[in-house]
Structure 1
Amino acid sequence: MRAHTFLHETLESAVAEQGLQWPDKAKIEPPRDKGHGDLASNAAMVLAKQAGMPPRDLAAKLADRIKQSGPMIAGAEVAGPGFINVSFSNEFWQQTVAEVLDQGKSYGSGRWGEGTKVQVEYVSANPTGPLHIGHGRGAAVGDSLTRILRAAGYEAETEYYLNDAGRQMNLLGRSIWARYKQACDREADLPEDGYKGAYILELAHELVQEQGDALLFRSEEEAVAACRKWGVDRILGGIKADLETFRVEHQVWFSEQSLVQSGAVSATLRELQDAGLAYEQDGALWFASTRFGDDKDRVLRKSDGELTYFASDIAYHADKYARGFDLCIDVWGADHHGYVPRMRAAVQALGRRADAFQVVLIQLVNLLRKGEQMTMSTRSGQFATLAEVISEVGTDAARFIFLSRKSDSSLDMDLDLLKEQSMDNPVYYVQYAHARICSMQAKAEERGVRAEQKSAQILSRLDTEEDLDLIKSLERFPDTVSGAARTLSPHHISFYLLDLAGMLHKYYNRHPVLNCGDEQLAQARLLLMRSVAQVVRNGLYLLGVSAPEAM
Structure 2
Amino acid sequence: MTPEELSAAVQSVLTDAVEAGELNLPEGSVPQEVRVERPKNRDHGDWATAVALQLAKPAGANPRQLAQVLAARIENIDGVSAVDIAGPGFINITLDAAAAGQLAKNIVDAGETFGHTQALAGRTVNLEFVSANPTGPLHIGHTRWAALGDAIARLLRASGAEVTSEYYINDAGNQMNVFANSVMARIHGEDVPEGGYPGEYTKDLAAEVLAARPEVKDMPREEALPIVRELAYQSQLAQIKQTLADFGVHFDVYFSETTLHNEGKIESAIDTLREQGHIEDRDGAIWLRTTDFGDDKDRVLIKADGEPTYFAADAAYYLTKRERGFEEKIYLLGADHHGYVARLKAIAACAGDDPQKNIEILIGQLMSVRGAKVSKRAGNIIELADLINWLGTDALRYTLARFPADSPIDVDPELLQSKTNDNPVFYVQYAHARACNAARNAAAFGVARTREDGQPAFDASLLTHPTEEELLAHLGRFPSTVASAAELREPHRVARYLEALASAYHAWYAKCRMSPSTHQDGTVDEVTDLHRTRLWLNDATAQVLRNGLSLLGVSAPEKM
- Answer yes or no: same fold by TM over 0.5: yes
Question: What is the distance in 2 between the residues matched to 1:44 and 1:421?
Answer: 48
Amino acid across the alignment from 2:541: V
Counterpart residue number, 1:4? 7
C-alpha displacement of 1:521: 2.1
Within a 5 Å distance, the mapping from 1:73-92 to structure 2 comes to 73-92=80-99
Q: Measured at CA, do residues 230 and 334 of structure 1 come closer, stay the same or move farther in structure 2, by a change above 3 Å? A: same
Counterpart residue number, 1:525? 534
Amino acid across the alignment from 2:306: G
C-alpha displacement of 1:377: 4.7
Q: Measured at CA, do residues 434 and 265 of structure 1 come closer, stay the same or move farther in structure 2, by a change above 3 Å? A: same
Amino acid across the alignment from 2:176: M
Question: What is the distance in 1 between the residues matched to 2:490 and 2:387?
Answer: 23
Question: What is the distance in 2 between the residues matched to 1:511 and 1:38?
Answer: 20
Within a 5 Å distance, the mapping from 1:195-344 to structure 2 comes to 195-212=197-214, 214-344=215-345
* 1:35-72 deviation line (CA, Å, top 9, x unaligned): 333333333233334433322222222222222x2342
Of 379, 382, 387, which residue of structure 2 is paired with 1:389?
Answer: 387
* 1:56-108 deviation line (CA, Å, top 9, x unaligned): 222222222222x2342233333333332323222221111111011111111
Question: What is the distance in 2 between the residues matched to 1:6 and 1:82?
Answer: 19
Question: What is the distance in 2 between the residues matched to 1:375 and 1:289?
Answer: 43
The alignment status of 1:535 with 2:544, answered yes or no, reads yes
The alignment status of 1:546 with 2:555, answered yes or no, reads yes
Q: Measured at CA, do residues 46 and 508 of structure 1 come closer, stay the same or move farther in structure 2, by a change above 3 Å? A: closer
Question: What is the distance in 2 between the residues matched to 1:170 and 1:401?
Answer: 37
Return the TM-score normalized by structure 2.
0.90
Counterpart residue number, 1:400? 398
Within a 5 Å distance, the mapping from 1:155-174 to structure 2 comes to 155-174=162-181
Return the TM-score normalized by structure 1.
0.92
C-alpha displacement of 1:32: 5.1
* 1:109-155 deviation line (CA, Å, top 9, x unaligned): 11122222212122211101011123222122122211111111111
Within a 5 Å distance, the mapping from 1:11-90 to structure 2 comes to 11-17=14-20, 18-20=23-25, 21=27, 22-24=29-31, 28-30=35-37, 33-35=40-42, 36-67=44-75, 69-90=76-97
Secondary structure of residue in 1 paired with 2:330? strand
The alignment status of 1:135 with 2:149, answered yes or no, reads no
* 1:145-169 deviation line (CA, Å, top 9, x unaligned): 1111111111112221111111111
Q: Measured at CA, do residues 515 and 29 of structure 1 come closer, stay the same or move farther in structure 2, by a change above 3 Å? A: same
Q: How large is the Cα RMSD of the aligned pairs? A: 2.4
- Unmatched 5+ stretches in structure 2: 518-524
Q: Is the 8 A contact 1:15 1:62 kept in 2?
A: no
Amino acid across the alignment from 1:3: L
Question: What is the distance in 2 between the residues matched to 1:247 and 1:378?
Answer: 25
Question: What is the distance in 2 between the residues matched to 1:152 and 1:482?
Answer: 6
Which sits farther off after the overlay, 76-85 or 469-478?
76-85
Secondary structure of residue in 2 paired with 1:195? coil
Question: What is the distance in 2 between the residues matched to 1:455 and 1:383?
Answer: 57
Which sits farther off after the overlay, 335-344 or 354-363?
354-363
* 1:321-358 deviation line (CA, Å, top 9, x unaligned): 11111211122212212201211111122222221111
Counterpart residue number, 1:365? 367
Q: Is the 8 A contact 1:2 1:475 kept in 2?
A: no
Q: Measured at CA, do residues 444 and 162 of structure 1 come closer, stay the same or move farther in structure 2, by a change above 3 Å? A: same
Counterpart residue number, 1:411? 409
Q: Measured at CA, do residues 51 and 421 of structure 1 come closer, stay the same or move farther in structure 2, by a change above 3 Å? A: closer
Secondary structure of residue in 1 paired with 2:131? coil
Question: What is the distance in 2 between the residues matched to 1:439 and 1:381?
Answer: 46
Q: Is the 8 A contact 1:25 1:46 kept in 2?
A: no
Question: What is the distance in 1 between the residues matched to 2:49 and 2:317?
Answer: 45
Question: What is the distance in 1 between the residues matched to 2:117 and 2:370?
Answer: 39
Secondary structure of residue in 2 paired with 1:28? coil
Amino acid across the alignment from 2:537: L
Amino acid across the alignment from 1:204: A
Secondary structure of residue in 2 paired with 1:342? helix
Which sits farther off after the overlay, 236-245 or 75-84?
75-84
Question: What is the distance in 1 between the residues matched to 2:332 and 2:194?
Answer: 31
Amino acid across the alignment from 2:362: V
- Unmatched 5+ stretches in structure 1: none
Question: What is the distance in 2 between the residues matched to 1:45 and 1:78?
Answer: 11
Equivalenced residue count is 540
Amino acid across the alignment from 1:93: A
Q: Is the 8 A contact 1:91 1:456 kept in 2?
A: no
Which sits farther off after the overlay, 321-330 or 9-18?
9-18
Of 341, 358, 373, which residue of structure 2 is paired with 1:356?
Answer: 358
